[in-house]
Structure 1
């Protein structure tokens, strides 16, 4: 269960006589990957024995105490979101920090790379390897068609060889990362290196 932030906890009503409590609605919204919900979407996440009217009533109560806010769009679509006081709609403070954070490659640590645990960083590295391979193949192709050599080094052959090597290393890294992720999903995290 996701911990309810203190500013929400002090505002919500603990009426346990309700079929659906305000606390359960907030927990559902916080645990979801979605930043906002329609009533239908939230109803599907909560439980089938609660009516949409009940979900609407709890959302209205939460809106009155400034825990939930809404945005209304054409065709009468209303989206509900947690009204985080620290950030603008519909971002949570964590989401706002994530938007301003560095790229996955900037965050990739030596430990994350060696243990293949930083999926986003490794995939960014693999994508960069694929793109660089494509550039090397294109340059090698242009030099081959043009019949140009740089100082007699057979530069077109060198570029083709380097492109194939880089492509092979990128594919190997992608395969290793997916294998490590499959092992972690199946057997849990492996402690290959001590954590800092």
Structure 2
């Protein structure tokens, strides 16, 4: 289990006579991939097995010292979460920083693209290309069905052609990225395939 943050460590009761300690409840909540829990969800994660009443008692104690907070929903469902002082519910400070960070496309550099190092940015770029392909195909289909042309060109043909070109480019980028990733895993990093 992870060590407790200082703001929690200085508040919790170190009573080791309890079957379930406040520290164990908080550590279980912090180590989980989810931001909030019902009593039964938390009870299922805690080892050794303890009663629902014991889990509820520890959560009430933690709520009294402002480490845990609750949200109550219809049908008497109460969810418990760590009441991080630096972030609003239900985000932890780490979650808040991740949401505020740049998107993969914002971080994608020319070098990261050419060396296929920034896989998240490359995949995001390819997926954006696939979505734009769908838009161009839809526009081409609407213009073809309606029999409309924009300007002096046969615009439906232009949209169809551009969509298929973009589809080929996007799929090519995805295939190359996967191939480079596979080669890196298979043969390791080399001068031809710079490491990640």
Alignment CA distance shift 1:182-1:26 (3 Å) = farther
Number of aligned residues: 189
Partner of 1:132: 132
Instruction: After superposition, give the CA deviation of every residue in 1:27-77 in whole Å (9 maximum; x if it has no partner).
Output: 111122211111011112223622212211211221122111112223222
Say whether the 8 Å CA contact 1:116–1:177 is kept in structure 2.
no
What is the rounded CA distance, in whole Å, between the counterparts of 1:183 and 1:61 in structure 2?
54
Partner of 1:60: 60
User: What is the CA distance between 1:175 and its match in structure 2?
Assistant: 5.0
Partner of 2:171: 171
Matched, 1:72 2:72: yes
Matched, 1:101 2:101: yes
User: What is the CA distance between 1:124 and its match in structure 2?
Assistant: 3.1
Alignment CA distance shift 1:102-1:75 (3 Å) = same
Listed as ranges, the gaps of 5+ residues in structure 1 are none
Q: SS of the counterpart of 2:88?
A: coil
Q: CA RMSD in A?
A: 3.4
Partner of 2:81: 81
Say whether the 8 Å CA contact 1:116–1:180 is kept in structure 2.
no
**TM-score under structure 1 length normalisation:** 0.74
Instruction: After superposition, give the CA deviation of every residue in 1:137-193 in whole Å (9 maximum; x if it has no partner).
Output: 2344456563748666x6654543331232133234445666778899xx79x6664
Partner of 1:27: 27
Alignment CA distance shift 1:72-1:158 (3 Å) = closer
User: What is the CA distance between 1:93 and its match in structure 2?
Assistant: 1.7
**TM-score under structure 2 length normalisation:** 0.74
